[in-house]
Chain A
Amino acid sequence: SQTIHQWPATLVQPVGSPLSLECTVEGTSNPNLYWYRQAAGRGLQLLFYSVGIGQISSEVPQNLSASRPQDRQFILSSKKLLLSDSGFYLCAWSVAGLHTGELFFGEGSRLTVL
């Protein structure tokens, strides 16, 4: 069966510090991978998606970046965090190929920027 792991689960970072969130998927090959952010009072906002190694599509301009160094690994990074980066970050995967609406989410990473 397929599983998705996301870490760290919680982190508190000062403004201007770097960020690295990691996500790995097991039990499937060449999945589509997604990073979403969920802020209080807002819906899920798609940040990045990837349909293959090294292929990253950005949905919103911001100080975040994403990378996919391996088939089932997706990393969200920032060089300098802003207060507005606080939120609940979710990694998700779907089966390879065209985007489907059936996403499988990780447990999330709650980021607080102070």
Chain B
Amino acid sequence: EDQVTQSPEALRLQEGESSSLNCSYTVSGLRGLFWYRQDPGKGPEFLFTLYSAGEEKEKERLKATLTKKESFLHITAPKPEDSATYLCAVQARGYSTLTFGKGTMLLVSP
């Protein structure tokens, strides 16, 4: 059974204080790993897709990286508007449906 574990559950940062979120996974052959952002009371918004170990994707202050066992979402010099819950999901080969983690709730204080 595919599993996704995200840590920490919650993270509080000061504005400008860089950090990383972790997504550990076990899957029977990874097709892709996906990061989403979810604002309170809203549906998740797609951020990145990573397909193979060593791959990196960037968007503004966010950079996602992938190894064979985990993915990191690095947040550089965060701003209060980066506050949200970040969800990680994996898809196994064979184009199965996604398995989501529980998310990391990020709060960036001014």
Question: Which residues of A pack against B, CB within 8 Å?
Answer: 6, 34, 41-44, 46, 49, 59, 90, 92, 98-108, 110
C-alpha spacing A34/B100, complex, angstroms: 14
C-alpha spacing A103/B42, complex, angstroms: 14
Given contacts A43-B102, A99-B97, A101-B32, contact A107 B91 (CB under 8 A): no
Q: Which residues of B contact A103 (CB under 8 A)?
A: 44, 46, 98
Work out how many contacts link A and B, with CB atoms closer than 8 A. 54
Dominant SS among interface residues on chain A = loop
Q: Are A105 and B101 in contact (CB under 8 A)?
A: no
Query: Number of B interface residues, CB 8 Å?
Result: 23
Q: Which residues of B contact A104 (CB under 8 A)?
A: 46
Q: Are A107 and B97 in contact (CB under 8 A)?
A: no
C-alpha spacing A29/B49, complex, angstroms: 23
Q: Are B95 and A43 in contact (CB under 8 A)?
A: no
Q: Which residues of A contact B34 (CB under 8 A)?
A: 101-102
